[in-house]
Structure 1
Amino acid sequence: MNKIKLAVALSAASLLAACGSDSDDKNNGVDTPTTYEFLSKVTEGESSVVFTGQAARQLLISELKKYSGSDEFQALTNKQTALDNLNTIYAKGVDSDEVNSLIDFNLYDGTGATSVPVSVEAPLTLEQTDYSDVFSVSGAKNLQGKLAGCDNDLSMSEFIGWEIAQGDIQDCGQDDVAVEDENDKPHTLLQTWFDELATLATDGNANTTIVNDQGHDLQQLIQKFLFGAVTYSQAARDYLKADKGLLKQNSEGDKAGAKDYTALEHQWDEGFGYFGASLDYLNKTDAEIKASAESDVDGNESIDLLRGEYNYGLSVYSAKVDTYSDADDLNLSADAMEAFLEGRQIIQDNFGTDPVEGEGYHVQLVETSERALAAMEKTIAGAAIHYINSTIDDVTNYDGSDIASLAKHWSELKGFALSLQFSPVAIISEADLKEVHEKIGTTPKASASAANAEQFIADLEAARTILVEAYGFDAAVAATW
């Protein structure tokens, strides 16, 4: 549903003038602000909110999608060059110690830094126009170093949803130990998709630029998979994890007192950065978020892509899922943002006291983090259901002549479904997720043929039922998303 969050925010905002930085709008007894802005308890007058590195990685995910579909990529004639360029985004990112990272190598014309994959309409301008600007704020950042399995162990007992033979596994260097195992499979899958993209771009066939002969839209698979394997995984397994990120110190500036935030504040902010919302996200309607990613929070007509004036990734899809139907059954965008605001306020209210596992405010913080993660996971599941429905429509009307729409929607479904495996506190069970992937299958092309279409539609409906029951969605409503 296109819900109006603004009314709630304005009601709370009317109290701000009377009570300073906090509202009297209670969230489990916590006075929370309506925007993600928190003054430092370490350094008077400074902000304690920083998630520039996470925003930089959000940009890199967007860059992979933009570049893989660009005329410049499709015009390449050398496969290795094409593959190297994709890995420049993924493995090098922005890094002054890497030769030809995006800060000094332009993927599109070879001169200067690569421009960011974002544009805004006048009078708005961008504070970061290329990746040298990004690097100057975020420092060295890439995607590979934060990929599930490369940076942390997988959350389920095995990699689910895509068969990868042991002999095909490529080591991604987890803990600098060259042991090829399940943890290397997400990286291997991305390298497989990169290789296929590079082949398609340089094979001289202009009709198959991003869709392979199996009906895999590689551009969509990569983007949706990275939403899970980087952004959701990092939030769930690291920054908002009960026995990891949520046990950092909360008594002094991080980095031996050098920072304006505590280590615990920063962990929470980094988790928020992987959700991808603007600072004023709660004050916007879902329709507004869906229609426009930028948000000029400070009103200076300049969008800061690294400091909370742009909506990325899952934050946009939370709003999209909310708008899939008119039924008043979901408000995932507000659920997520309210939890992030509440948790951050809990941390600030307890400055000077370090968290103790299972005691005091750590208990409340863990509960709040799991609400935020649940909203992110339900967003992924809701998007998967939406693309199940789109795929069913495509199969129903498929005549075998043009696979582009079917490939796109199935690949978005598959990418989101793959993403559901990357949380240690996942709502869906491993057994249910395996069954979902069995029903979705590994390719839409053969399944959509006239002989198999009826069974494929039945399988997709069965996958939808599993997701609906796992996440407590209304079955009749979800069938319309």
Structure 2
Amino acid sequence: MKRSLKFSTSILALAFCAGTAAADTYGPFPITDKSYSGDRTNSVSYTGQVARSILLDSLKSLAGKADGGANAAETKATMMKYFAGSDEDLAILSHNSKDGFPIKQTMLNEISKGKNISGKTYKGLVPGWPGNMTGVEVMEHLIHHASMSVGGFDAEYGYDYGQLIQKFGLGAMAYNQAVDNYLDEKLGADNKPNNKPYKDGAAYTGKEHSWDEAFGYFGAPAHALTLEPTQAYNISKKKDLAAGDANGDGMVDLRTEMTFGGAYYAADADKSGTDYLPTITSAFLEGRKLISSANGEALSDAQRAQLVAYAQTIEDEWTKVIAEATFKYAGSVYKDIEKFRADTKNIDADLYRAYGKHWGELKGFAMALQTGKENLGGTAVRLNRLIGFSPVTMDESIVTGIDADGNFVKDGKMSWNAYQLNMLKVQDLMVKEFGVEARKNDATANLADLIKELDSDSGGAETD
């Protein structure tokens, strides 16, 4: 399964003759559909995907507003508007202006109207979460329990619902839609062909818009190739207006200048010396140039083959970005336990809260990794067993399932040391199966010593 694909020399050589957009910017691209009679001059369109990224990030913000039950019904109803859609013009909760970093939009309809997350969420089963649920059902289950939590956190089970919702959604919505739909089925010759509009009256062809939608789900600013990793990262953190404001109007336009989702985590990894963000963004850009160069005609077999090669690079590198995040947060959980395992009877509340946050990020990304085009098979089984359905909680108990009402059942036991070992095994798995390179929070040097320490534990560390 291990892959490490970058652009091949031949692909790059062919790419530079493909298009007319600014060399390092995703668009604008000319109108090539022969039937279009409107006044648009740019065929690029992915605002719907930006809107869904904002909806997902806003769900994370809403989880933090739960007060332990008193506002549960109101919180759940509001969260479901952001998940399942609403006729209302919803406020953007996740990306607001701050001093020194003005943002152009404040309401979702300024980005795109009528969008939801539920219709674009992974329909397959998610074995990493209890209850044998589909991706949509997992999200609904998380929203339900988030609404009854305290600030998005449930100390009894160690769950940070905001993190679980957002990180799983980055896979179940964005990654899944991109790699298993727009860069897969929709690249077929007869599926959204390039010599027809995507839909009646559209200013873009079938292939142009399919490719744009995948780019929108990745979440890179259109000018990402002009940025250093820290700049792309800091745009999302609202720390670098100069880097974000590509058009010089004094504010950041969420439609084209913000860093979201997969692109954010690619930039985070790249701060350690990898090149995920430029590799993925370059593949998207060169693919779009190729499509535009067809000038509204059906793509030839050779052109489609080259486009599929770009799509494969995107999928492989994006998968590694998610694996990098899984590796990183497994290391965070390991380090959190190290901070309090000397006195596990008196764990500091703030340390435990940070531990729950990091576990939510780990678990969300681990489940996200399993929503792509490729069936991970035994790798997924091992990953799910190592992480389990919950972190080890205060009394060294773990969640083993849910009851008929969807409530968590916590009747398993695991020691802190054993769970630390599992975290190191997760990191080792990400290296061996996905070839992760950034390896942030790498704690694998401690693997051999911890195995020796637990050598007498006949129950083993995994939760199977």
**TM-score band w.r.t. shorter chain:** 0.7 to 0.9
Q: Corresponding residue for 1:140?
A: 114
Question: Aligned equivalents of 1:126 and 1:472: distance in 2?
Answer: 37
Superposition pairs for residues 239-258 of structure 1, below 5 Å?
239-242=182-185, 247-256=191-200, 258=201
Q: Corresponding residue for 1:90?
A: 83
**2:335 maps to 1:387:** no
Q: Corresponding residue for 1:164?
A: 131
Pick one of 26, 33, 37 that aligns with 1:36. 26
Q: Corresponding residue for 1:322?
A: 270
**2:369 maps to 1:420:** yes
**2:128 maps to 1:189:** no
Amino acid at match of 2:337: V
Superposition pairs for residues 217-232 of structure 1, below 5 Å?
217-232=160-175
Query: Cα distance 1:122–1:253, how it changes in 2: closer, same or farther (>3 A)?
Result: farther
CA positional deviation for 1:198: 1.8
Question: Aligned equivalents of 1:322 and 1:193: distance in 2?
Answer: 31
CA positional deviation for 1:270: 0.2
**Other structure's SS at 1:129 match:** coil
CA positional deviation for 1:131: 2.7
List runs of 5+ in structure 2 lacking aligned partners: 1-9, 398-413, 445-464
User: In the alignment, is the contact (CA less than 8 A) between 2:176 and 2:373 conserved in 1?
Assistant: no
Q: Corresponding residue for 1:49?
A: 44
Give the TM-score of the pair, scaled to structure 2: 0.78
CA positional deviation for 1:416: 0.2
CA positional deviation for 1:448: 8.5
Pick one of 344, 347, 351 that aligns with 2:295. 351
**Other structure's SS at 1:310 match:** coil
CA displacement 1:64-104 (0-9 Å, x = unmatched): 1112213xx43872432222121111112xx4xx3xx3x1x
List runs of 5+ in structure 1 lacking aligned partners: 1-24, 104-112, 166-183, 202-207
Q: Corresponding residue for 2:5?
A: none
CA positional deviation for 1:40: 2.2
Q: Corresponding residue for 2:320?
A: 378
CA positional deviation for 1:215: 0.6
User: In the alignment, is the contact (CA less than 8 A) between 2:269 and 2:440 conserved in 1?
Assistant: no
Pick one of 411, 416, 430 that aligns with 2:360. 411
CA displacement 1:305-359 (0-9 Å, x = unmatched): 22x1111111111000122x3xx4x211111111111111111122343246xx3
Pick one of 368, 377, 381 that aligns with 1:430. 377
Give the TM-score of the pair, scaled to structure 1: 0.76
Superposition pairs for residues 304-343 of structure 1, below 5 Å?
304-306=253-255, 308-323=256-271, 325=272, 328=273, 330-343=274-287
Q: Corresponding residue for 1:275?
A: 218
| RMSD (Å), alpha carbons | 2.7
Question: Aligned equivalents of 1:448 and 1:346: distance in 2?
Answer: 58
Q: Corresponding residue for 2:428?
A: 465
Question: Aligned equivalents of 1:232 and 1:131: distance in 2?
Answer: 21
Question: Aligned equivalents of 2:156 and 2:61: distance in 1?
Answer: 22
**2:95 maps to 1:118:** yes
**2:232 maps to 1:289:** yes
Q: Corresponding residue for 1:444?
A: 391
CA positional deviation for 1:160: 2.5
Q: Identity across aligned pairs (percent)?
A: 26
User: In the alignment, is the contact (CA less than 8 A) between 1:282 and 1:337 conserved in 2?
Assistant: yes
**2:57 maps to 1:62:** yes
**Other structure's SS at 1:87 match:** helix
Question: Aligned equivalents of 1:301 and 1:122: distance in 2?
Answer: 12
CA positional deviation for 1:41: 2.3
CA displacement 1:256-306 (0-9 Å, x = unmatched): 3x2221111000000000001111001100011112236222212233222
Question: Aligned equivalents of 1:245 and 1:121: distance in 2?
Answer: 44
User: In the alignment, is the contact (CA less than 8 A) between 1:217 and 1:407 conserved in 2?
Assistant: yes
**Other structure's SS at 1:117 match:** coil
Query: Cα distance 1:449–1:122, how it changes in 2: closer, same or farther (>3 A)?
Result: closer
Question: Aligned equivalents of 1:212 and 1:387: distance in 2?
Answer: 19
Question: Aligned equivalents of 2:76 and 2:11: distance in 1?
Answer: 51
